[in-house]
Amino acid sequence: MSTPMTPVVWQWGDFESLSRRDVYDALQLRARVFILEQGPYLDVDGLDLPAYHLLGRLAAPSHGLAAGELVVYLRALPPGLKYAEPALGRVVCHAAVRGTGLGRALVAEGLRGCERVWPGRGNRISAQAHLERFYGAFGYRRAGEVYLEDDIPHLEMLRTGL
């Protein structure tokens, strides 16, 4: 059973607009989930500099975490960098807020950011295969077969332009 969504403060911007603290917090959250929880791989892959980043910090203390704690994050790659379309990636939620709806809010806010920066474009993702239904709720459809990426089953999914 999920709990009510925790209020967060959203910050959307390109790499140059991020403070050193923003970058540190984002890399720390990504490392906590993508390296410690899911197994070692190179998270800092050279694609952060041209990307836009969405950070969600707690608006008030919640789930044993302090106000201002970074609890959700994603990055949006520009068209032509990884795929022809813009691409969401590094979608991550702190373990303490999973099941609260913040993951859905994060993806929705990320898609709104992409629409502001790249209006009318589709969006392609490399999703962990077990999240196909989750991303399907946002209009993404399978665009290929399941493949292994860093020993985790993934699949390419496409959300066509609006």
| Domain count of the fold of the chain | 1
Give per-residue pLDDT as tens, 88-125.
Answer: 999 999 999 999 999 999 999 999 999 999 999 999 99
Tell me, yes or no, whether 134 lies in a domain.
Answer: no
pLDDT band at 1 (very low <50, low <70, confident <90, very high): very low
Query: Are the beta carbons of 154 and 127 closer than 8 angstroms?
Result: yes
* Least trusted range by pLDDT, from 18-27, 41-50, 136-145: 41-50
CATH label of the domain that carries residue 41: 3.40.630.30
Please provide the DSSP assignment of 106-159 as one string: HHHHHHHHHHHHSTT--EEEEEEGGGHHHHHTTT-EE-S--EEETTEEEEEEEE
134 phi, psi to nearest 5 deg? -55, -50
Q: In which domain, by residue range, is 54 found?
A: 8-120
pTM: 0.87
pLDDT digit string, tens, across residues 55-94: 999 999 999 999 999 999 999 999 999 999 999 999 999 9
